[in-house]
Structure 1
Amino acid sequence: MEQTKAVALVVGVTGMAGLSLVEALKKPEAPGGPWKVYGVARRARPSWLPACGFLDDYISLDATDSKDTHNKLAPISREVTHVFWVALQALDNEEQKTTINSTMLVNVLNVLVTSPSPGASALRHVNLQTGTQHYMGPLHELSALSSHLVPHDPPFREDSPRLPYPNFYYALEDILLSYAPSITYSIHRASIIVDASSRSVYNALLTLAAYAEICRHTGLPFRFPGTQYTWDHFCDVTDARVLAEQHIWAATTDSAKNQAFNCTNGDFFTWKSMWKVLAKSLRVEFVPFEESGEFDFVGLMKDKGKVWDEIVEKHGLYKTKLDEISCSVALSTVLHFTFQHVSSMTKSREFGFFGFTDTFKSIPVWIDRLRKMKIIP
């Protein structure tokens, strides 16, 4: 009997975009549904991840270990029709990052594509989530290379050629191409993702929320940790709900198959305006930017681990460590750009995706959700 039910495997379900993606898949009106959804992550299910009516099953596995991956996924390998790859392991060295993330993707796909009997694999489509580093190079790498990167001119467009620098996103795209045409794929190049999670690499909003709470707890001013240029110039972000919509749209739209798409909220902002929104939502006083000496934001956050422990204990928060939930180095890098971080959404619209949200309305929603999840006070 031919399988018709859509079965999704969300790899990286506790990280950026995972929560919103599963919620979107489980909506009754979700395209291609009703969906059965398996969630995969390295560690045990966190308490903030809803248990009932959310995931059909939560699978904890180490995708860098081929044996563990096979043992955990083999029982469902003939069910899964779609893989939504929103996983990421971040290392300081781009070569190491390429190796570990490529290994993870190959290990998972090999279990789902390879089957004891011919034609038994149900896998039809893989969604790969990457980002604007595709257009900028390995800017988070702690080496001399990162200071000499020359990015593409904004707004970033999907037809831009690859840059002559190491980039693990390129390696992941090439892996997907190697499985064609037996499966189709879509690539989703998100901007700075805004979501709610305690396990997200490069989670700018959570870093800012932790920073604001540390300021409130210690009496420090909520200073902007960037430059005059980024304070005055444009940037964009990606609400995880818009990203989830695009993932599902691409997975269920024939014309979107085997394509790469940028994904942003569809608007842009200056950090000068955003800082006022953040200050109000995070309940700290707005401090105008003053370019008077270097503000060592990374040093400040590195020294505040014990302060964060006090905050978690005082407010009875979900147990986290500051160095696990914050990305001060990555955020500082973004806020020291010498170009406007803006992506074109024209291709998405031409292909029929019109998802958008107002960023200034989006930010308070996610901050409120972080509070409800007991990740911040």
Structure 2
Amino acid sequence: MTAEESLLTIRSDGIYHGLPVFPENVGGLTAIITGANGISGTHMSPEQIARQLKEGDIKADYVFFFAYIQPSPAPGRSIWSAAEELVKVNKSLLSNFLQGLAGANAVPKRILLQLGAKYYGVHLGPTTIPQEESDARVLLEPNFYYDQEDYLKRFCEEHHCAWNTTRPSWVSGAAPDAAMNLVYPLAVYGAIQKHLNRPLVYPGDLKSWENLHVLSTATLNCYLAEWAVLTEVAANKSFNAGDDSPFSWGKFWPKFANYLGIAYAGPQIDTAGLVEEHSGQSTLPRGWGPVGTIRYRFKLADWAKRPEVSAAWKEIAEESNLQNKTLGDVDRVFGFIDAAILNSWPTSYSNTELRKNGFFGFVDSTESIFKVVEEFVGLDMLPGYFLG
């Protein structure tokens, strides 16, 4: 083996493949993880955080920052429309925590911050593709990811520790708080349609049906985060975090209907009867061309407010003794799946930077969705018939 060659060993773990194998001497390490349980917590000052860390004698080799606050949008506005409020609450969420670490003399070796696809401006309209970590920032409106990333880099420089950021796309994972979750509202839609003996109707048009996406399974994101902080050549770098499994609703929808044991209806081809909306920016993230357009016959956030839908879920929840007895916070919960389904421009992540640095993990996105559905059943958030 030449000086320019290296040998990497990979493994599989269930549905996850191409995972790194670490040297045997890597062990006995500790980590602080924020936002891991998906449950809303209390906004704390740096002094409060430092005091709790000191009282618990909490220090760690690594920090993984996954915490996030999603402000409720104004009525009739998109889920991410409160851009300035997103910056305000999420920058202070990170800065308070990092200042608390410093105040407790608990600065770790490496801090990993999870960002997301909004880094590329995909919520504002079509972007250049594939999306690469080196792409220029999209400055059409405030973006809390940029503020968080800049603060993290300054903090790490001042306190002599390394950093990483990751950028997942549409995340599939099971957590008690269903906001910003791809799978839960989708599964609720399927459960209610099954309960009402109705087909799984696709709400969008042909373009969104055929549009290619990158999904980001939460478990694979964690494998990537672990690899990033333990890999020296990955220090002080940002990485896309995707399943590496091209996904379209057109391929998934029939499989999901079959999984549920119900019929399905595909996209409405005739656009004359569809509602049409345009991205709200005259200037696009890609810098040129027509605005982004979505077309739909209905939105799931509106569907979830129908009286027969609410009544059906109440019956399902009572029969299966589920945690969520009613469909609450529907604009926040179902607004996310609406954005994922109806979006007509692609998320197309480049994996080049990951491959160059030695990460080869991937998962079949469809398999991961069904696995996450089963995990939601285990959390008593979905009825047991999803298990077959």
Q: Is the pair's TM-score, using the shorter chain for normalization, greater than 0.5?
A: yes
CA 1:368–1:150: 2 relative to 1, 3 Å: closer
CA 1:67–1:310: 2 relative to 1, 3 Å: farther
Q: 2:144 maps to what in 1?
A: 168
CA displacement 1:241-267 (0-9 Å, x = unmatched):
211111001111111111110011112
Partner SS for 1:289 = coil
Q: 1:124 maps to what in 2?
A: 109
| Letter of the structure 2 residue corresponding to residue 102 of structure 1 | K
Aligned equivalents of 2:23, 2:264: Cα separation in 1: 41
TM-score by length of 1: 0.78
Q: 1:4 maps to what in 2?
A: none
| Structure with greater Cα Rg | 2
Give the number of the structure with larger relative contact order, counting CA–CA contacts within 8 Å between residues 6 or more apart.
Answer: 2
Q: How far did residue 321 of structure 1 move?
A: 4.3
Higher alpha-carbon deviation: 338-347 or 255-264:
338-347
CA displacement 1:142-169 (0-9 Å, x = unmatched):
xxxxxxx344212111110001121111
Q: 2:3 maps to what in 1?
A: none
CA 1:320–1:195: 2 relative to 1, 3 Å: farther
Q: 2:54 maps to what in 1?
A: 74
Aligned equivalents of 2:211, 2:258: Cα separation in 1: 21
Q: How far did residue 311 of structure 1 move?
A: 1.8
Q: 2:366 maps to what in 1?
A: 360
Q: How far did residue 333 of structure 1 move?
A: 2.2
% same residue: 23
Q: 2:351 maps to what in 1?
A: 345
CA contact (8 A) 1:42 1:63 kept: no
Q: 1:265 maps to what in 2?
A: 243
312, 321, 324: which one aligns with 2:317: 312
Aligned equivalents of 2:373, 2:25: Cα separation in 1: 28
Q: Unmatched 5+ residue regions in structure 1?
A: 1-23, 47-59, 140-148
Aligned equivalents of 1:86, 1:28: Cα separation in 2: 23
CA 1:267–1:41: 2 relative to 1, 3 Å: closer
Q: 2:100 maps to what in 1?
A: 111
TM-score by length of 2: 0.75
1:31-180 to structure 2, matched below 5 A, reads 32-36=26-30, 40=34, 61-76=41-56, 79-91=59-71, 92=73, 93-115=82-104, 120-136=105-121, 139=123, 149-165=124-140, 166-180=142-156
CA contact (8 A) 1:232 1:271 kept: yes
CA contact (8 A) 1:78 1:122 kept: no
Partner SS for 1:185 = strand
Aligned equivalents of 1:354, 1:126: Cα separation in 2: 22
Q: 1:242 maps to what in 2?
A: 220
CA contact (8 A) 2:32 2:64 kept: no
Q: How far did residue 135 of structure 1 move?
A: 0.6
CA contact (8 A) 1:236 1:267 kept: yes
- Figure out how many residues of one structure are paired with residues of the other and give that number: 324
Q: Is it true that 1:255 corresponds to 2:258 in the alignment?
A: no
CA contact (8 A) 2:179 2:336 kept: no
Aligned equivalents of 2:326, 2:175: Cα separation in 1: 13
Q: How far did residue 42 of structure 1 move?
A: 10
Q: 1:286 maps to what in 2?
A: 264
Q: How far did residue 341 of structure 1 move?
A: 1.8
Q: 1:188 maps to what in 2?
A: 166
CA 1:72–1:279: 2 relative to 1, 3 Å: farther
Q: Is it true that 1:296 corresponds to 2:307 in the alignment?
A: no
Q: How far did residue 184 of structure 1 move?
A: 1.1
CA displacement 1:187-223 (0-9 Å, x = unmatched):
1100111111221431111110011111122233211
Partner SS for 2:361 = coil
| Letter of the structure 2 residue corresponding to residue 375 of structure 1 | M
Partner SS for 2:304 = helix
| Letter of the structure 2 residue corresponding to residue 159 of structure 1 | S
Partner SS for 2:134 = coil
| Letter of the structure 2 residue corresponding to residue 341 of structure 1 | T
Q: Unmatched 5+ residue regions in structure 2?
A: 1-18, 74-81, 275-296, 384-388
| Letter of the structure 2 residue corresponding to residue 216 of structure 1 | K
Aligned equivalents of 1:29, 1:75: Cα separation in 2: 34
| Letter of the structure 1 residue corresponding to residue 298 of structure 2 | D
CA contact (8 A) 1:74 1:111 kept: no
Aligned equivalents of 2:91, 2:321: Cα separation in 1: 38
Aligned equivalents of 1:101, 1:39: Cα separation in 2: 16
Aligned equivalents of 2:359, 2:224: Cα separation in 1: 7
CA 1:202–1:258: 2 relative to 1, 3 Å: same
CA contact (8 A) 1:234 1:269 kept: yes
